[in-house]
Amino acid sequence: MKCFTILFLMTSLTATAQSVTLPTGLKVMVVQKDYPLLKMLLPGQSTNDRGIEIEFPEHVTGLNKANNKIEHLYLVTNGNRNKRTLPAWRVENNSLIYETELDNKIKMTATAHLEADGLRYTYTLSNHSNLSYQNLQAVTCVKLYSLFSDTLLQRTYVHHSNGFDLLASETPQRLKMPLLKWIPCRYLVSYTWPISSNRVEDGIQRYYKSRKADKPFIATLSHDKQWIAATYTKETGNLWTNPERSCQHADPAVDLKPGQTKTLALKTFIIKGRLEQLLQLVNAEMRKN
């Protein structure tokens, strides 16, 4: 760890009602919206900057085993139509936390824990219904703006068995496309799921890399290539981005039966260093139980 900069070996922090700041200046704050939205800022970034915005989560979705249909228990775009109790944020040490009841079925406790090398997200889901859900996800959209924006995917990487490669390396024509032809689209690389043959979904073009990733994270360099933002989870079907948002997705899933409580966990690393140094952190995370 000596060969690169992790933001801080944390000994103290500053917390307000809806934000947490490390002594180095890394900050996470609640954005006042009618849905749970966080903003992460690098040291020196103004609070007026968009920074990195995290829809926390974008939606909670799973397969309802009773009717074998996909069910959205929560969806950002549903706004006030969501059936949920309104979340009340609180600060505990270096964590921002809220609780909510989704559709009178699932209690969710969402925790964003600020660490020296990034932001760790956990969703604790308790099933109070008589329904079973398969592949239940709290899909977390990590939107990279300002310092990290990468609409043409020129600085966004995944890792294969032979090393790092640009996520979109197999689509060089994107660099010469009119922007309106390139976006909207989705770009995906499989981790555990089969590589899909579906190239259009909901009218949106989907690009799939022909090789699977061998590490479950997606990483983007800042414009000056000094910083890295990388979203990781231990197990996921695929890694993907919406280039229009420069967002990162690495979403885990659980099966949740009546009466069960399970946790979904992922993390966005923020480091100043090189991709090889990020890989050291990811490998250390993967070795954890």
pLDDT digits (tens, 9 = 90+) for 33-51: 889 999 999 999 999 999 9
Report, as an integer, the average pLDDT of 246-272: 98
Position 13 scores a pLDDT of 53
Query: In the chain, how many domains are there?
Result: 1
Position 81 scores a pLDDT of 84
For residue 154, is it within any domain? yes
Contacts of 263 by beta carbon, 8 Å cutoff, 6+ apart: 122, 123, 124, 125, 254
For residue 3, is it within any domain? no
186: left (phi over 0), alpha (psi -120 to 50) or beta: beta
Query: Are 108 and 102 spatial neighbours (Cβ–Cβ below 8 Å)?
Result: yes
pLDDT in tens, 71-114: 999 999 988 888 888 888 999 999 999 999 998 799 999 999 99
SS3 105: coil
How many whole angstroms separate alpha carbon 256 and alpha carbon 250? 20
For residue 233, is it within any domain? yes
Helix (H) or strand (E) holding 100: strand 95-102
For residue 12, is it within any domain? no
Sole residue written with tokens 């070795």: 287
Position 16 scores a pLDDT of 60
Greater pLDDT, 198 or 154: 154
Q: CA torsion, points 286, 265, 78, 141, in degrees to nearest 10?
A: -40
How many whole angstroms separate alpha carbon 118 and alpha carbon 6? 9
For residue 167, is it within any domain? yes
For residue 31, is it within any domain? yes
Of the candidate ranges 84-98, 137-151, 242-256, 268-282, the one whose mean pLDDT is the lowest:
84-98
This prediction's pTM: 0.93
Q: Which residues pair with 93 in a beta bridge?
A: none
Contacts of 270 by beta carbon, 8 Å cutoff, 6+ apart: 7, 26, 40, 42, 52, 117, 118, 119, 227, 228, 229
Report, as an integer, the average pLDDT of 237-258: 97
Report, as an integer, the average pLDDT of 227-243: 98
Position 86 scores a pLDDT of 80
Contacts of 7 by beta carbon, 8 Å cutoff, 6+ apart: 22, 24, 26, 43, 116, 117, 270, 271, 272
For residue 14, is it within any domain? no
Instruction: Give 158-205 as a DSSP string.
Output: EEETTEEEETTTT-GGGGTS-HHHH-SEEEEEESSSPPP---EETTEE
Domain that holds residue 27: 19-287
> For residue 66, what is the DSSP state?
T
Greater pLDDT, 56 or 15: 56
**pLDDT band for position 12 (50/70/90)?**
very low
How many whole angstroms separate alpha carbon 40 and alpha carbon 142? 10
pLDDT in tens, 139-164: 999 999 999 999 999 999 999 999 99
User: Residue 101 corresponds to which tokens in the numbers above?
Assistant: 């009841």
Report, as an integer, the average pLDDT of 177-187: 96
Q: What is the CATH number of the domain that holds 263?
A: 2.70.98
For residue 71, is it within any domain? yes
Position 28 scores a pLDDT of 98
